[in-house]
Amino acid sequence: MPVFIRDYTDFYSSKNHAYNIGVMFRGVDNALQPNWLHLPVGYHGRASSIVIDGTPITRPKGQKTDDGKTPYWSACKLLDFELEMGTIIGKGNNLSEPIKVEDARDHIFGFTMLNDWSARDLQKWEYVPLGPFNAKNFASTISPWVVTPEALAPFKTALPVQEPALLPYLQDKDLSAYDIQLSVSIKTPQSDAWHVLTNSNMKHLYYSVAQTISHHTVTGCNLSAGDMLGSGTISATEKSGYGSMVELCWAGKEPIILPSGEERKFLLDGDEVNMTGVCKGNGFTVGFGDCRGKILPAKDDSNWF
């Protein structure tokens, strides 16, 4: 691990991803919740289960339901990846002293790739009313390199205008991200070759990292050196750039056909996922290394209870 991650918060900063998920489960008219365009939605994640590139991921088990009422115990059947960027905090703030959005970038040490593995069937049952819990806490994978803002400076790019206007504490005069080419590939037990599932870019975020830092601390919450903030799934506008399996297969309605002829709706045991991020300059590149994880079968729980 490149840093000891003290605490972890995951945001939901890509409008394309939030809209896609909303359309799937609430319809076009209610795709975005009323608060989404006014604040960067987030939840407190689990720092202890963040692992480094190459660490195997054991399929989780938990409660889920088919009828929305009666739970049963099962291995996750809808295992997914989420293509994200992680922000490592380099300088914290004192309790009760919020970080202003114009000062937020001074608190960033660097960035890493982040795969926030998700158990979609567990999540569907548990997330009402307080959001993800066991569906997200079993593992998140990061790449081994932390790339500093100074190294990424040549690739800075403006983010789209935010409408409606945000409250003053969130208004970022330097509303920007970086032109980082993001890619997710899969290798199955039946194929030795990697197949690209999606190509996205950090510039498809709606909220800036500075805005997530400011919002996180506006109540007086204190961040610490080593904390990590997840961007949330970064999806492009086109299907070829969606940042999760649930979007790529549209909640299982549109199976993904791999070159080997295999079909995927969600990840199966033995599948290996790799995420990469690259900035391409004039005669040079800046990369984040691999962010890989191979899915292992769920463990036998006959002796648990």
**Where residue 80 sits, what CATH number does that domain have?**
3.90.850.10
AA letter at 29: D
| Residue 61 forms part of a structural domain | yes
Closest CA to 230 of 205, 251, 249: 205
Q: What amino acid is encoded at 218 in this protein?
A: V
304 domain residue, yes or no: no
Output the pLDDT for position 303: 76
In a domain, 81, yes or no: yes
Q: Is residue 305 part of a domain?
A: no
Range of the domain at 291: 8-296
CA gap 147, 145 in Å, rounded? 6
Contacts of 69 (CB under 8 A, 6+ apart): none
Q: Degrees (nearest 5) of the Cα angle 176, 136, 145?
A: 50
Look at residue 302 in the predicted model and tell me its pLDDT. Answer: 78
Q: Give the chain's domain count.
A: 1
Q: Which residues are catalytic?
A: 17
Q: Is 207 a member of any domain?
A: yes
Structure-token match 């036998």, residue found: 300
Q: For residues 194 and 187, is the Cβ–Cβ distance under 8 A?
A: yes
Reading the chain (305 residues) residue by residue, the pLDDT tens digits are 999 999 999 999 999 999 999 999 899 999 999 999 999 999 999 999 999 999 999 999 999 999 999 999 999 999 999 999 999 999 999 999 999 999 999 999 999 999 999 999 999 999 999 999 999 999 999 999 999 999 999 999 999 999 999 999 999 999 999 999 999 999 999 998 999 999 999 999 999 999 999 999 999 999 999 999 999 999 999 999 999 999 999 999 999 999 999 999 999 999 999 999 999 999 999 999 999 999 999 999 877 77
How much helix, strand and coil, in percent to the nearest 5, is found in the chain?
20, 30, 50
